Amino acid sequence: MPKRSAKLADLAFDIRSVIGALFVVYGLVCLVWGLVSFPPEAAEKTGGVNLNLWAGLGMLVVGAVFVAWVVAKPLTADDPAVREALDDDATSGAADGGDR
């Protein structure tokens, strides 16, 4: 596998990106949901709080924090997990990593 795409895959595989992306999407969906619709049934359930709006906002913030974390401190070559992945690519084709 070419090095560049390997790096991209590692970036995507960084669990922080996955958590960040999921929470941003969930946050946006709930936020918009809360903005466009707050029916009386919903208000009755939550005791008057627009839960979609606030929970959406909260999840958006959490998601944004994770994304910011990835951007501010990306996986670098110093990280053992990445170094290992890059080593694998360097010796590409070595199917068996053996005991590390």
Partner 1 sequence: MTAVTASVTTSVPTSVLAAGTTGATRIDAGAGDYVLVALYFVVVLGIGLLARRRISSSLDFLLSGRSLPAWVTGLAFVSANLGAIELLGQAANGAQFGEQAFHYYWIGAIPAMVFLALVMMPFYYGSKVRSVPEFLGRRFDAKTQRLQGLLFALASVLLAGVNLYAMAIVVNALLGLPTWLAIVLAGVIVLAYTFLGGLSAAIYNEVLQFFVIVATMVPLTLIGLHRVGGWGGLVEQLTDQGSGSMLQAFPASDLTGIMNSAGSTIGVVLGLGFVTSFGYWTTNFTEVQRAFSARSASAAQRTPLIAAFPKVLIALVIIIPGMVAAVLVPGISALKTGGDSGGATYNDAVPLLLDELLPNGFLGVALAGLLAAFMAGMAANVSSFNTVVTYDLWQDWVRPGRDDAHYLRVGRAVTVIGTALAIGTAFIAAGFTNIMDYIQTLFSFFNVPLFAVFVLGLFWKRMTGSAGFWGLVSGTLGAVVVFVLNQTGTIALSGQGSSFLGGGVATVVAVLVGWLVSQGGTPKPEAELRGLVWSLTPAAERAVPREPGVLRSPVVLSVLVLGMAAAGYVLFAVI
Tell me the per-residue interface mask from 5 to 44 with partner 1, x by CB under 8 A, - otherwise.
----x--xx-x--xx-xxx-xx--xx--xx--x-x-xx--
- The distance from CA 29 to its chain's CA centroid, rounded to whole angstroms, is 16
# of chain residues touching partner 1 (CB under 8 A): 44
Packing angle of the helix pair 80-90, 3-13 (nearest 10 deg): 150
Residue 10 tokens read as 């590692």
Neighbours of 48 (CB within 10 A): 10
Q: With binding defined as CB under 8 A, does residue 86 bind partner 1?
A: no
Packing angle of the helix pair 3-13, 15-36 (nearest 10 deg): 50
Footprint on this chain of partner 1 (rule: CB under 8 A): 1, 9, 12-13, 15, 18-19, 21-23, 25-26, 29-30, 33-34, 37, 39, 41-42, 45-47, 49, 51-52, 54-56, 58-59, 62, 80-81, 84-85, 88, 94-100
